[in-house]
Amino acid sequence: MIANRHETVPDRVRALLWRDGGLGLLDQRLLPQRLEYLWLSHPAEVADAIRRMVVRGAPAIGITAAYGVVLAARAAYARSGERWREELGTDLDALRAARPTAVNLAWALRRMEARCGRQSGDPEPVLLAEAQAIHAEDIAANRRMGELGAAFLGAGSRAMTHCNAGSLATGGFGTALGVIRSAWAGRALTKVYAAETRPWLQGARLTAWELREDGVPATLLADGAAADLMRRGLIDWVIVGADRIAANGDVANKIGTYGLALAARAHGVRFMVAAPVSTIDLETPDGGAIPIEERPAEELLALGGQRVAPEGIDVWNPVFDITPAALIDVLVTERGVLEAPGRLGIAALCQAA
């Protein structure tokens, strides 16, 4: 455990590991009751784990898919030798279709495919090096975002976050929680609030657990209590991650983010999005063009295995919502910070070396 917040920036949680030729995913469906890794050796298992939310969070999904390509290429090369590329398409399609909203998934697969096209002989060493580079670059980017975002928080700030945008959602350190970690270590933050995030309770199960593991005290609250907390003047910043950022700066993030942004604007609370440049999709013009995943009705009909809704009731269960760029005060990326993000600033970030 971290002894106190003044020694280092706490960061000990990891959602995924590559070890002994296999991919280990911390099964986030079991947290906080059990800490258990699933060890995968086949690409179909990786796609299924992404789909079933063993791993979640856009950056972590992208990294996981990159390692899935390594496993796919290994199996194809074992079967077909130099003709391994001809067999790779089906596995790549399965990985690509596992979660439609998180743009990092497609970004990581494109990067891995580019390496496949230039590789001769056994593809595993080169592809593994590329996947590990994606993983390491994500952690470095998160640490940079943590520094940049924390610089906006004045001494004595109080922050709220939604869903989980921490180490569990990334290669390590986190996006929104990276900012919170850095601000806490730098003594800028005095209070951290985590919204519960229904229906999967990522805030309650994951963010609260992750912050506790790293010795950062947090207060959990019901989603419906957030606006009143702002009305009482107890929040200075809302800090969230993103699953996709459109070319105009609109952001897709966990359902409930839009409501928090509206409440923040109404109460003079500043709103920050922290996400790597790989989350930006210049081919998506605005939030209305972002595909929004919908999940099974059972997630709302039951809680902890106990049915909580009447038989026959209709269910609408979108995973994400769209926060317009006009409601975002600060967008933090590893390449720099945009205040009041818009189309020109987003394009400049993507073009920066």
Contacts of 63 (CB under 8 A, 6+ apart): 16, 108, 131, 134, 135, 138, 170, 171
Q: Burial, 234: exposed, middle or buried (Cβ in 10 Å; 0-12, 13-18, 19+)?
A: middle
Given 27, 236, 243, 250, which residue is catalytic? 243
Rg (CA), the chain: 20
Structure tokens that stand for 176 in this block = 């929104």
How far is residue 275's CA from residue 44's CA, in Å, rounded to a whole number? 28
281 is catalytic: no
- Residue 292's Cβ-side half-sphere holds a number of Cα atoms within 13 Å equal to 17
How far is residue 298's CA from residue 223's CA, in Å, rounded to a whole number? 20
First-last CA distance in the chain: 37
How far is residue 343's CA from residue 335's CA, in Å, rounded to a whole number? 16
- So which residues are the catalytic ones? 243
